[in-house]
Protein backbone atom coordinates (compact mmCIF):
# COMPACT_ATOMS: atom_id res chain seq x y z
CA UNK A 1 0.00 0.00 0.00
CA UNK A 2 1.24 3.49 -0.80
CA UNK A 3 1.33 5.31 2.54
CA UNK A 4 2.45 8.65 1.15
CA UNK A 5 1.26 11.62 3.20
CA UNK A 6 -1.36 9.75 5.20
CA UNK A 7 -0.69 11.71 8.37
CA UNK A 8 2.44 9.90 9.57
CA UNK A 9 4.19 11.76 12.41
CA UNK A 10 7.27 13.81 11.68
CA UNK A 11 10.65 12.69 12.99
CA UNK A 12 10.76 15.29 15.78
CA UNK A 13 8.28 16.05 18.59
CA UNK A 14 7.45 19.48 17.15
CA UNK A 15 8.17 21.60 14.09
CA UNK A 16 7.77 24.85 16.05
CA UNK A 17 11.51 25.60 16.21
CA UNK A 18 12.01 25.04 12.49
CA UNK A 19 11.86 28.81 12.30
CA UNK A 20 13.93 31.97 12.47
CA UNK A 21 14.05 33.98 15.68
CA UNK A 22 12.61 37.09 14.07
CA UNK A 23 9.31 35.32 13.50
CA UNK A 24 8.91 35.19 17.28
CA UNK A 25 10.17 38.70 17.95
CA UNK A 26 7.74 40.04 15.31
CA UNK A 27 4.99 38.09 17.03
CA UNK A 28 5.82 39.59 20.42
CA UNK A 29 5.86 43.14 19.07
CA UNK A 30 2.59 42.64 17.15
CA UNK A 31 0.83 41.20 20.18
CA UNK A 32 2.02 44.10 22.34
CA UNK A 33 0.95 46.65 19.69
CA UNK A 34 -2.48 45.07 19.29
CA UNK A 35 -1.95 44.30 15.61
CA UNK A 36 -1.29 40.57 15.89
CA UNK A 37 -4.99 39.72 15.48
CA UNK A 38 -5.38 41.56 12.20
CA UNK A 39 -6.61 39.25 9.46
CA UNK A 40 -3.74 38.73 7.02
CA UNK A 41 -2.88 36.99 3.77
CA UNK A 42 0.60 35.65 3.04
CA UNK A 43 1.62 34.16 -0.31
CA UNK A 44 4.48 31.95 -1.44
CA UNK A 45 5.91 32.70 -4.87
CA UNK A 46 9.18 33.04 -6.71
CA UNK A 47 10.20 36.11 -8.66
CA UNK A 48 12.20 34.09 -11.17
CA UNK A 49 13.03 30.53 -12.12
CA UNK A 50 16.60 29.28 -11.72
CA UNK A 51 18.73 30.38 -14.64
CA UNK A 52 17.95 28.38 -17.75
CA UNK A 53 14.96 26.52 -16.29
CA UNK A 54 11.68 26.68 -18.21
CA UNK A 55 9.23 25.62 -15.49
CA UNK A 56 9.15 24.82 -11.79
CA UNK A 57 7.56 21.88 -10.01
CA UNK A 58 5.49 22.22 -6.83
CA UNK A 59 6.71 19.60 -4.36
CA UNK A 60 6.58 19.26 -0.59
CA UNK A 61 2.95 20.32 -0.10
CA UNK A 62 2.10 17.12 1.75
CA UNK A 63 5.08 17.68 4.05
CA UNK A 64 3.96 21.26 4.64
CA UNK A 65 0.58 20.02 5.83
CA UNK A 66 2.30 17.67 8.28
CA UNK A 67 4.53 20.49 9.50
CA UNK A 68 1.59 22.86 10.10
CA UNK A 69 -0.25 20.19 12.09
CA UNK A 70 2.84 19.52 14.21
CA UNK A 71 3.64 23.19 14.82
CA UNK A 72 3.15 23.04 18.59
CA UNK A 73 4.99 24.75 21.44
CA UNK A 74 5.31 22.01 24.05
CA UNK A 75 6.89 22.44 27.47
CA UNK A 76 10.39 21.65 26.27
CA UNK A 77 10.21 24.17 23.45
CA UNK A 78 8.70 26.85 25.71
CA UNK A 79 11.40 26.17 28.30
CA UNK A 80 14.10 26.71 25.68
CA UNK A 81 12.54 30.03 24.60
CA UNK A 82 12.24 31.14 28.24
CA UNK A 83 15.81 30.15 29.10
CA UNK A 84 17.21 32.07 26.13
CA UNK A 85 14.95 35.06 26.87
CA UNK A 86 13.85 35.09 23.24
CA UNK A 87 10.31 36.33 23.97
CA UNK A 88 8.48 37.61 27.03
CA UNK A 89 6.12 35.70 29.31
CA UNK A 90 2.99 37.10 27.67
CA UNK A 91 4.16 35.76 24.30
CA UNK A 92 5.12 32.41 25.81
CA UNK A 93 1.61 32.12 27.23
CA UNK A 94 0.15 32.86 23.78
CA UNK A 95 2.46 30.30 22.15
CA UNK A 96 1.50 27.58 24.64
CA UNK A 97 -1.94 27.40 23.07
CA UNK A 98 -0.85 27.87 19.46
CA UNK A 99 -2.81 25.95 16.86
CA UNK A 100 -3.07 27.20 13.31
CA UNK A 101 -6.75 27.96 12.78
CA UNK A 102 -6.64 29.65 9.39
CA UNK A 103 -7.03 28.60 5.77
CA UNK A 104 -4.43 27.50 3.22
CA UNK A 105 -4.91 27.40 -0.54
CA UNK A 106 -2.28 26.35 -3.03
CA UNK A 107 -1.29 24.77 -6.30
CA UNK A 108 -1.85 21.02 -5.97
CA UNK A 109 1.37 19.15 -5.43
CA UNK A 110 2.98 18.01 -8.68
CA UNK A 111 1.63 21.00 -10.62
CA UNK A 112 4.08 23.21 -12.51
CA UNK A 113 4.58 26.88 -11.73
CA UNK A 114 6.18 30.02 -13.17
CA UNK A 115 7.52 33.38 -11.92
CA UNK A 116 4.84 35.10 -9.88
CA UNK A 117 2.63 32.03 -9.49
CA UNK A 118 0.88 32.21 -6.06
CA UNK A 119 1.99 28.70 -5.14
CA UNK A 120 0.62 28.83 -1.60
CA UNK A 121 -1.71 31.26 0.17
CA UNK A 122 -1.93 31.30 3.97
CA UNK A 123 -4.78 33.23 5.62
CA UNK A 124 -5.50 33.90 9.27
CA UNK A 125 -4.36 36.35 11.92
CA UNK A 126 -0.96 37.92 11.41
CA UNK A 127 0.24 36.26 14.60
CA UNK A 128 -0.57 32.71 13.57
CA UNK A 129 0.50 33.08 9.93
CA UNK A 130 3.83 34.81 10.41
CA UNK A 131 5.17 31.93 12.49
CA UNK A 132 4.89 29.49 9.59
CA UNK A 133 7.11 31.38 7.15
CA UNK A 134 10.40 29.60 7.67
CA UNK A 135 9.19 26.02 7.90
CA UNK A 136 6.98 26.41 4.82
CA UNK A 137 9.79 27.94 2.77
CA UNK A 138 12.30 25.38 4.03
CA UNK A 139 10.15 22.52 2.76
CA UNK A 140 8.92 24.02 -0.50
CA UNK A 141 12.28 25.46 -1.56
CA UNK A 142 14.10 22.17 -1.03
CA UNK A 143 11.51 19.77 -2.38
CA UNK A 144 10.56 21.90 -5.39
CA UNK A 145 14.21 22.27 -6.39
CA UNK A 146 14.76 18.51 -6.25
CA UNK A 147 11.49 17.77 -8.08
CA UNK A 148 12.39 20.22 -10.86
CA UNK A 149 15.76 18.52 -11.37
CA UNK A 150 14.05 15.12 -11.28
CA UNK A 151 11.49 16.26 -13.84
CA UNK A 152 14.22 17.36 -16.26
CA UNK A 153 16.03 14.06 -15.76
CA UNK A 154 12.91 11.95 -16.26
CA UNK A 155 12.07 13.92 -19.40
CA UNK A 156 15.57 13.28 -20.73
CA UNK A 157 15.30 9.59 -19.82
CA UNK A 158 12.05 9.08 -21.73
CA UNK A 159 10.58 5.65 -21.00
CA UNK A 160 13.71 4.41 -19.25
CA UNK A 161 13.31 4.24 -15.44
CA UNK A 162 15.37 6.32 -13.03
CA UNK A 163 16.69 5.16 -9.66
CA UNK A 164 17.21 7.75 -6.90
CA UNK A 165 20.42 6.90 -5.03
CA UNK A 166 21.65 10.14 -3.45
CA UNK A 167 21.21 9.45 0.27
CA UNK A 168 24.95 9.40 0.94
CA UNK A 169 25.37 12.80 -0.72
CA UNK A 170 23.15 14.87 1.58
CA UNK A 171 21.82 15.17 5.14
CA UNK A 172 20.15 11.98 6.31
CA UNK A 173 16.70 13.58 6.71
CA UNK A 174 17.07 15.68 3.56
CA UNK A 175 17.74 12.40 1.74
CA UNK A 176 14.27 11.12 2.63
CA UNK A 177 12.63 14.34 1.44
CA UNK A 178 14.75 14.25 -1.73
CA UNK A 179 13.59 10.71 -2.50
CA UNK A 180 9.99 11.83 -2.13
CA UNK A 181 10.51 14.87 -4.36
CA UNK A 182 12.35 12.76 -6.95
CA UNK A 183 9.41 10.35 -7.09
CA UNK A 184 7.07 13.30 -7.69
CA UNK A 185 9.34 14.43 -10.54
CA UNK A 186 9.23 11.07 -12.29
CA UNK A 187 11.81 8.76 -10.69
CA UNK A 188 10.64 5.15 -10.38
CA UNK A 189 12.52 3.84 -7.35
CA UNK A 190 14.87 4.80 -4.52
CA UNK A 191 17.76 3.11 -2.74
CA UNK A 192 16.79 4.85 0.54
CA UNK A 193 14.88 2.50 2.82
CA UNK A 194 13.64 5.32 5.06
CA UNK A 195 11.91 6.85 2.05
CA UNK A 196 10.39 3.48 1.21
CA UNK A 197 9.19 3.02 4.79
CA UNK A 198 7.76 6.50 5.18
CA UNK A 199 6.30 7.15 1.73
CA UNK A 200 5.82 3.75 0.13
CA UNK A 201 8.29 4.47 -2.68
CA UNK A 202 9.57 1.24 -4.32
CA UNK A 203 13.11 0.45 -3.17
CA UNK A 204 15.94 -1.29 -5.02
CA UNK A 205 19.58 -2.25 -4.43
CA UNK A 206 21.96 -5.16 -4.80
CA UNK A 207 25.70 -4.67 -4.18
CA UNK A 208 28.62 -2.26 -4.33
CA UNK A 209 32.27 -2.66 -5.28
CA UNK A 210 33.07 -3.51 -1.66
CA UNK A 211 31.18 -6.80 -2.03
CA UNK A 212 33.31 -7.80 -5.00
CA UNK A 213 36.52 -6.75 -3.24
CA UNK A 214 35.53 -8.78 -0.17
CA UNK A 215 35.82 -12.03 -2.10
CA UNK A 216 38.95 -13.75 -3.34
CA UNK A 217 37.88 -13.28 -6.94
CA UNK A 218 35.05 -11.82 -8.98
CA UNK A 219 33.53 -15.21 -9.75
CA UNK A 220 33.10 -15.97 -6.04
CA UNK A 221 31.42 -12.59 -5.51
CA UNK A 222 29.02 -13.14 -8.41
CA UNK A 223 28.24 -16.66 -7.26
CA UNK A 224 27.52 -15.50 -3.70
CA UNK A 225 25.17 -12.78 -4.93
CA UNK A 226 23.30 -15.03 -7.36
CA UNK A 227 22.95 -17.76 -4.74
CA UNK A 228 21.48 -15.22 -2.33
CA UNK A 229 19.38 -12.98 -4.59
CA UNK A 230 18.64 -15.19 -7.59
CA UNK A 231 19.50 -15.06 -11.27
CA UNK A 232 17.39 -11.94 -11.76
CA UNK A 233 19.79 -9.84 -9.69
CA UNK A 234 21.96 -6.98 -11.00
CA UNK A 235 25.70 -7.65 -11.04
CA UNK A 236 28.22 -4.80 -10.86
CA UNK A 237 30.72 -5.43 -13.65
CA UNK A 238 33.27 -2.61 -13.57
CA UNK A 239 35.38 -3.46 -10.51
CA UNK A 240 38.20 -4.86 -12.61
CA UNK A 241 37.81 -5.61 -16.31
CA UNK A 242 34.32 -5.05 -17.74
CA UNK A 243 34.57 -7.49 -20.63
CA UNK A 244 35.79 -10.32 -18.45
CA UNK A 245 33.22 -9.49 -15.76
CA UNK A 246 30.32 -9.61 -18.23
CA UNK A 247 31.50 -12.98 -19.54
CA UNK A 248 31.80 -14.32 -16.01
CA UNK A 249 28.44 -12.85 -14.94
CA UNK A 250 26.58 -14.68 -17.69
CA UNK A 251 28.55 -17.83 -17.02
CA UNK A 252 27.56 -17.74 -13.34
CA UNK A 253 23.93 -16.59 -13.66
CA UNK A 254 23.13 -17.87 -17.12
CA UNK A 255 21.17 -15.95 -19.76
CA UNK A 256 18.49 -15.29 -17.15
CA UNK A 257 20.76 -12.69 -15.50
CA UNK A 258 18.57 -9.70 -14.65
CA UNK A 259 20.97 -6.83 -15.29
CA UNK A 260 24.54 -5.58 -15.18
CA UNK A 261 25.52 -2.22 -13.72
CA UNK A 262 28.24 0.02 -15.12
CA UNK A 263 29.54 2.74 -12.78
CA UNK A 264 32.60 4.16 -14.53
CA UNK A 265 34.30 4.82 -17.82
CA UNK A 266 32.94 6.15 -21.09
CA UNK A 267 29.37 5.05 -20.49
CA UNK A 268 28.26 5.53 -24.10
CA UNK A 269 31.05 3.39 -25.50
CA UNK A 270 30.99 0.79 -22.72
CA UNK A 271 27.20 0.37 -22.92
CA UNK A 272 27.36 -0.43 -26.64
CA UNK A 273 30.16 -2.95 -26.12
CA UNK A 274 28.42 -4.60 -23.17
CA UNK A 275 25.14 -4.88 -25.08
CA UNK A 276 26.88 -6.54 -27.99
CA UNK A 277 28.68 -8.93 -25.68
CA UNK A 278 25.51 -9.83 -23.75
CA UNK A 279 23.66 -10.57 -26.98
CA UNK A 280 26.52 -12.73 -28.27
CA UNK A 281 26.44 -14.68 -25.00
CA UNK A 282 22.70 -15.30 -25.38
CA UNK A 283 21.71 -12.92 -22.54
CA UNK A 284 19.50 -10.88 -24.82
CA UNK A 285 17.05 -9.99 -22.06
CA UNK A 286 19.69 -8.89 -19.56
CA UNK A 287 19.38 -5.17 -18.95
CA UNK A 288 22.07 -2.53 -18.59
CA UNK A 289 21.96 -0.04 -15.72
CA UNK A 290 24.35 2.92 -15.71
CA UNK A 291 25.34 5.12 -12.79
CA UNK A 292 28.34 7.44 -12.21
CA UNK A 293 27.45 11.07 -11.32
CA UNK A 294 24.74 11.47 -13.95
CA UNK A 295 22.70 14.61 -14.53
CA UNK A 296 20.04 15.46 -17.12
CA UNK A 297 22.66 16.34 -19.73
CA UNK A 298 24.52 13.06 -19.29
CA UNK A 299 21.24 11.17 -19.43
CA UNK A 300 20.27 12.94 -22.66
CA UNK A 301 23.67 12.14 -24.16
CA UNK A 302 22.96 8.43 -23.57
CA UNK A 303 19.62 8.48 -25.38
CA UNK A 304 21.04 6.50 -28.31
CA UNK A 305 22.89 4.05 -26.08
CA UNK A 306 21.49 0.58 -25.26
CA UNK A 307 20.82 1.60 -21.65
CA UNK A 308 17.75 0.34 -19.79
CA UNK A 309 17.87 2.36 -16.56
CA UNK A 310 19.80 5.17 -14.88
CA UNK A 311 20.88 5.61 -11.28
CA UNK A 312 21.28 9.23 -10.13
CA UNK A 313 22.68 10.53 -6.86
CA UNK A 314 24.67 13.69 -6.26
CA UNK A 315 23.26 15.83 -9.05
CA UNK A 316 19.70 14.99 -8.08
CA UNK A 317 19.86 15.71 -4.35
CA UNK A 318 21.66 19.01 -5.03
CA UNK A 319 19.04 20.15 -7.54
CA UNK A 320 21.41 19.69 -10.47
CA UNK A 321 23.10 23.00 -9.79
CA UNK A 322 20.05 24.75 -8.33
CA UNK A 323 19.52 23.53 -4.74
CA UNK A 324 16.76 26.04 -3.98
CA UNK A 325 13.68 27.30 -5.79
CA UNK A 326 14.16 30.83 -4.32
CA UNK A 327 10.57 31.03 -3.10
CA UNK A 328 9.55 33.81 -0.71
CA UNK A 329 6.67 34.23 1.77
CA UNK A 330 5.22 37.74 1.66
CA UNK A 331 2.36 39.57 3.32
CA UNK A 332 0.11 40.70 0.45
CA UNK A 333 -3.06 41.83 2.26
CA UNK A 334 -4.19 42.67 5.80
CA UNK A 335 -7.14 44.16 7.58
CA UNK A 336 -6.99 47.64 9.12
CA UNK A 337 -8.16 46.34 12.48
CA UNK A 338 -8.77 43.14 14.41
CA UNK A 339 -12.45 43.24 13.51
CA UNK A 340 -13.16 39.94 11.67
CA UNK A 341 -15.41 41.88 9.27
CA UNK A 342 -12.80 44.51 8.44
CA UNK A 343 -11.99 44.47 4.71
CA UNK A 344 -8.60 43.33 3.49
CA UNK A 345 -6.28 45.98 2.09
CA UNK A 346 -3.52 45.09 -0.40
CA UNK A 347 0.02 45.66 0.86
CA UNK A 348 3.31 45.19 -0.97
CA UNK A 349 7.00 45.75 -0.59
CA UNK A 350 8.16 48.65 -2.75
CA UNK A 351 11.90 48.57 -3.13
CA UNK A 352 14.56 49.25 -5.70
CA UNK A 353 15.85 46.36 -7.74
CA UNK A 354 14.12 43.02 -8.16
CA UNK A 355 12.69 42.55 -4.66
CA UNK A 356 9.37 44.35 -5.02
CA UNK A 357 6.12 42.41 -4.76
CA UNK A 358 2.52 42.75 -5.91
CA UNK A 359 -0.15 43.29 -3.28
CA UNK A 360 -3.57 41.70 -2.94
CA UNK A 361 -4.94 38.18 -2.52
CA UNK A 362 -4.34 36.49 -5.85
CA UNK A 363 -5.94 33.83 -7.96
CA UNK A 364 -4.17 31.98 -10.75
CA UNK A 365 -5.34 30.26 -13.91
CA UNK A 366 -3.59 28.71 -16.88
CA UNK A 367 -4.83 29.76 -20.29
CA UNK A 368 -4.52 27.17 -23.04
CA UNK A 369 -4.66 27.37 -26.80
CA UNK A 370 -7.19 25.55 -28.98
CA UNK A 371 -5.08 22.40 -28.78
CA UNK A 372 -5.14 22.38 -24.99
CA UNK A 373 -1.50 23.44 -24.66
CA UNK A 374 -0.65 26.03 -21.99
CA UNK A 375 0.06 29.49 -23.37
CA UNK A 376 0.03 31.76 -20.31
CA UNK A 377 -0.06 31.77 -16.51
CA UNK A 378 -2.65 34.39 -15.63
CA UNK A 379 -2.45 35.93 -12.14
CA UNK A 380 -4.87 38.50 -10.80
CA UNK A 381 -6.80 39.93 -7.87
CA UNK A 382 -10.54 40.44 -7.59
CA UNK A 383 -13.02 38.65 -9.84
CA UNK A 384 -11.80 35.79 -12.01
CA UNK A 385 -12.74 36.31 -15.69
CA UNK A 386 -15.48 33.90 -16.72
CA UNK A 387 -13.36 32.37 -19.48
CA UNK A 388 -10.78 31.33 -16.88
CA UNK A 389 -13.15 30.19 -14.15
CA UNK A 390 -12.63 26.50 -14.93
CA UNK A 391 -8.88 26.90 -15.39
CA UNK A 392 -8.04 28.00 -11.85
CA UNK A 393 -5.02 26.35 -10.28
CA UNK A 394 -5.36 26.83 -6.53
CA UNK A 395 -7.18 24.29 -4.39
CA UNK A 396 -8.21 24.48 -0.73
CA UNK A 397 -5.78 22.53 1.45
CA UNK A 398 -6.63 23.65 5.00
CA UNK A 399 -9.90 25.13 6.28
CA UNK A 400 -10.25 26.47 9.80
CA UNK A 401 -6.99 24.80 10.75
CA UNK A 402 -8.11 21.36 9.57
CA UNK A 403 -6.31 19.58 6.72
CA UNK A 404 -8.98 18.78 4.15
CA UNK A 405 -7.31 15.85 2.46
CA UNK A 406 -4.04 14.10 1.79
CA UNK A 407 -3.08 12.40 -1.44
CA UNK A 408 -1.20 9.20 -2.16
CA UNK A 409 2.18 10.05 -3.65
CA UNK A 410 1.36 8.14 -6.83
CA UNK A 411 -1.50 10.58 -7.51
CA UNK A 412 0.90 13.51 -7.12
CA UNK A 413 3.39 11.85 -9.46
CA UNK A 414 0.69 11.30 -12.08
CA UNK A 415 -0.43 14.91 -11.75
CA UNK A 416 3.06 16.14 -12.51
CA UNK A 417 3.35 13.95 -15.58
CA UNK A 418 0.04 15.35 -16.86
CA UNK A 419 0.98 18.95 -16.05
CA UNK A 420 4.31 18.66 -17.85
CA UNK A 421 2.61 17.06 -20.83
CA UNK A 422 0.31 20.08 -21.06
CA UNK A 423 3.22 22.50 -21.59
CA UNK A 424 4.66 23.48 -24.97
CA UNK A 425 7.18 20.96 -26.30
CA UNK A 426 10.03 23.40 -25.72
CA UNK A 427 9.52 22.93 -21.96
CA UNK A 428 11.56 19.73 -22.12
CA UNK A 429 14.50 21.24 -23.99
CA UNK A 430 17.69 21.22 -21.94
CA UNK A 431 19.13 24.26 -23.69
CA UNK A 432 18.98 27.45 -21.67
CA UNK A 433 15.88 29.55 -22.03
CA UNK A 434 13.23 31.60 -20.30
CA UNK A 435 10.01 30.32 -18.73
CA UNK A 436 8.16 28.31 -21.36
CA UNK A 437 4.99 30.42 -20.93
CA UNK A 438 4.71 34.03 -19.76
CA UNK A 439 3.04 35.21 -16.56
CA UNK A 440 0.32 37.77 -17.25
CA UNK A 441 -1.05 40.02 -14.50
CA UNK A 442 -4.65 41.23 -14.73
Whole-angstrom CA distances from 233 to 230, 253, 263 are 6, 9, 16
228 and 281 both lie in a single domain: yes
Q: Is residue 238 part of a domain?
A: yes
Co-location of 175 and 292 in the same domain? yes
**CATH label of the domain that carries residue 299:** 3.20.20.70
Q: How confident is the model at residue 391 (pLDDT cuts 50, 70, 90)?
A: very high
- Tell which of 264, 293, 321 closes a domain: 321
* Same domain assignment for residues 378 and 253: no
User: What are residue 41's DSSP bridge partners?
Assistant: 123, 333
Note whether residue 356 is domain-resident: yes
pTM of the model: 0.94
Residue 332 shares a structural domain with residue 298: no
Is the domain of 175 the same as that of 299? yes
pLDDT at 367 over 50: yes
pLDDT at 432: 84
199 within domain boundaries: yes
Residue-wise pLDDT tens digits, 400-409:
999 998 999 9
Instruction: With respect to residue 416, please indicate whether it lies within any of the assigned structural domains.
Output: yes
244 and 292 fall within a common domain: yes
**Are residue 195 and residue 315 in the same domain, yes or no?**
yes
User: What pLDDT score does 109 carry?
Assistant: 98
Residue 297 and residue 363 share a domain: no
∠ at Cα 297 (296, 302), nearest 5°? 95
Is residue 205 in a domain?
yes
- The answer on 128 and 269 residing in a single domain is no
162/252 same-domain check: yes
Measure Cα distances from 107 to 54, 114, 118, 157, 199 in Å. 18, 11, 8, 26, 21
What is the tens place of the pLDDT at every residue in 275-323? 999 999 999 999 999 999 999 999 999 999 999 999 999 999 999 999 9
Q: Return the pLDDT at 10.
A: 43
Are 198 and 347 found together in one domain?
no
Cα dihedral: 235, 238, 242, 245 (round 10): -40
Give the domain range for residue 331.
21-145+322-441
What CATH number does residue 328 fall under? 3.20.140.10
Of 321, 346, 369, the one marking the end of a domain is 321
Pairing of strands 259-262, 362-368: unpaired
d(CA 100, CA 8): 19
In a domain? residue 123? yes
Question: Which of 265, 300, 321 lies at the terminal end of a domain, its last residue?
Answer: 321
Per the structure, the count of domains in the chain is 2
Residues 249 and 380 in one domain: no
Amino acid sequence: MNTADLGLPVDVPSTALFTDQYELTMLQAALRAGTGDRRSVFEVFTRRLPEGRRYGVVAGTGRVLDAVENFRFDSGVLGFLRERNIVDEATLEWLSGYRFSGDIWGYPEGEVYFPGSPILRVEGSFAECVLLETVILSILNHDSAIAAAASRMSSAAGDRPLIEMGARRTHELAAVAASRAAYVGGFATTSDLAAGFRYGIPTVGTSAHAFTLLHDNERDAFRAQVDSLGRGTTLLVDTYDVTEAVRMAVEVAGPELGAVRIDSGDLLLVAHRVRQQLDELGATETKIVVTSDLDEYAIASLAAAPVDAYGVGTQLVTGSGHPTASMVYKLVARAHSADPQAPLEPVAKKSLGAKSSMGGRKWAARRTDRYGVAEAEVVGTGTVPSELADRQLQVELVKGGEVLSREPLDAVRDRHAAARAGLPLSATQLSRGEAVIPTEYV
